[in-house]
Amino acid sequence: MPTATAVQEQRTAYYERIAERQMAPLWESLHTLVPPQPKPQAQAAIWRYAQIRDLVMQAGAVISAEEAVRRVLVLENPGLPGKSSITPSLYAGLQLILPGEIAPSHRHTQSALRFIVEGRGAWTAVDGERTTMRPGDFIVTPSWTWHDHGNPSVEDGGEPVVWLDGLDIPLVASLDAGFAETYPEATQPVTRPEGYSFARFGHNMAPVRERVSNPTSPIFSYPYERSREALDMLYRHSELDAWDGVKLRYVNPTTGGWPMPTMATFMQYLPAGFKGRAWRSTDATVYCVVDGHGTVNIGGAEFAFAEHDVFVVPSWQTVQLSAHGESVLFSYSDRPVLAALNLLREERI
């Protein structure tokens, strides 16, 4: 019988020989490659706005929006260093645009969402239409559409505006499906009045002769006022869900499905004193606190959250939300991808 050391030496030598031919022994990594359950590299993490707001604003003195193209601080998951990712499939960043600035027009195959954190009056343009940003609005930038952002000058009432960018950058990168182009001018021509898309699709109605099933929602901006109103009404007149409080998903009116092919978005209301039950799911989720404060327990670790904080719940980690003051949370996840691939699992504990 060869000794354990001899066996190990023989194997190591063998692994070196097969490595020269770009091969590796599956038996050394089988359990990692095919885990009994998800073991995310991504960690639960929180970006507390009170601690980072000054740094976000200081970016305005470091570089102009024009030079930066997009002046964004990437929220990088501490478990995914160097990957510019908040989850394995999703990207998050805080974008700052100052009065009088333009973030020049470009397009890319990555889908984007904007969730307005603070400031109002800046605009984003998609396909010839501009929409004005207000805190709590959820704005859609479909894949491969020209988009530029801008902010009126101080004289015209402009103020610094910060929003959360959610994109499917890591997912698109993992598929090697990224394409991008720069528009020849800083801004695209405005060809339609503000509110045009909303008139077509934002009132639970749709243009009568169009039979479209658009992979991305034609509703350009989902105004906070409306989402909040719906949550308030449902809170007052229906039973609270023990896990979610009152939670709604944003809908693509042409399909009834998610607003984007790769990202789902949600908004939920938690009354003061709410102590949610624990649940987990295979979609990793990024939360942005619109209003209120409380705690979130993610996989046993407790994080206090307050207004404008961003936190991330990795796949299959239990999450439990508690609200001290009445709270409103926006969230986005890769749920459509998991659902499409039959990989979505959810467990309410």
Q: Where are the alpha helices (DSSP H) in the chain?
A: 4-19, 30-33, 49-62, 65-68, 169-174, 196-201, 224-237, 335-340
CB of 219 to ligand GTQ, least distance (A): 18
Binding mask 122-151 for ligand GTQ (x = CB under 6 A): -------------------------x----
CB of 331 to ligand GTQ, least distance (A): 17
CB of 56 to ligand GTQ, least distance (A): 13
CB of 227 to ligand GTQ, least distance (A): 22
Binding mask 157-186 for ligand GTQ (x = CB under 6 A): --------x-x-------------------
DSSP 73-110: EE---TTSTTS--SSSS-EEEEEEE-TT-EEEEEEESS
Residue 323, classed as helix, strand or coil, is strand
- Write out the H or E segment, with its range, that includes residue 288: strand 285-291
264 near ligand GTQ, judged by CB under 6 A:
no
Decide if 69 contacts 106 (C-beta within 8 A).
Answer: yes
CB of 147 to ligand GTQ, least distance (A): 6
95 or 131, CB closer to ligand GTQ? Answer: 95
User: What burial class does residue 116 get, using C-beta atoms within 10 Å of its C-beta: 0-12 exposed, 13-18 middle, 19+ buried?
Assistant: buried
Among 53, 70, 134, 200, binds ligand GTQ (CB under 6 A): 70
CB of 112 to ligand GTQ, least distance (A): 6
Site for ligand GTQ in 75-94 (CB under 6 A): 93
Residue 51, classed as helix, strand or coil, is helix
87 or 254, CB closer to ligand GTQ? Answer: 87
Among 72, 90, 231, 310, binds ligand GTQ (CB under 6 A): 72
183 or 235, CB closer to ligand GTQ? Answer: 183
102 near ligand GTQ, judged by CB under 6 A:
no
CA angle 118–120–124, rounded 5-degree value: 105
Number of Cβ within a 10 Å radius of residue 136: 20
Q: Give the interface size with ligand GTQ as a residue count (CB under 6 A).
A: 9
Q: How is residue 315 written in tokens? A: 């796949």
Tell me the β-bridge partners of 118.
162
The DSSP letter of residue 12 is H
Rounded-to-10 torsion of CA 261, 334, 54, 322: 130
93 or 119, CB closer to ligand GTQ? Answer: 93
Among 77, 89, 95, 197, binds ligand GTQ (CB under 6 A): 95
**Site for ligand GTQ, rule CB under 6 A:** 70, 72, 93, 95, 108, 112, 147, 165, 167
